[in-house]
Amino acid sequence: MSVACIFCRIGAGALPGNIIHRDERVIAFLDRSPLFLGHTLVVPRVHVDTLDDLSPDIIGPLFEVARRMSIAVQRALNADGSFVAVNTRVSQTVPHVHVHVVPRTEGDGFFSPRPLWKRRAYADEADAEGYAARIRTAYGAASR
């Protein structure tokens, strides 16, 4: 854990984070500046700067959670699909590897000819927790 890393602090429980999933290796929580509401980050609990630096033993657990999170986000939010991505250095605002799981709907403009990846905001903390709770419930069902 890196004390300076916000994702490590969320993983350690030192900061709130609208947690959706937590196990000994991986944590998932809502992005605080989502591309679309319900945008979730899947993060290894061990501090690793980039995907390039990720050890082989965590790749499977990390991407299994990302896969299940994709299903959960779609189910919980009635999304048509999801966008799953990892930035490596460029556009990686937090230097801790993380997988973005973004809910998508047909015609949402996400990949328009001039994409505008405008960040959104939750109305308040209760709104964010409502999204997290819906996704958390669907995440549990995604393993079945």
| Residues 44-90: tens digit of each pLDDT | 999 999 999 999 999 999 999 999 999 999 999 999 999 999 998 88
Residues 142 and 72 sit within 8 Å (Cβ to Cβ): yes
Domains of the chain: 6-109+118-142 (3.30.428.10)
User: Which of 68, 65, 71, 77 minimizes the C-alpha distance to 134?
Assistant: 77
Q: What is the CA radius of gyration of the chain?
A: 14
| Residues 100-142: tens digit of each pLDDT | 999 999 988 887 766 667 788 999 999 999 999 999 999 988 7
83 beta partners: 102
pLDDT of residue 143: 67
Q: What pTM was estimated for this model as a whole?
A: 0.92
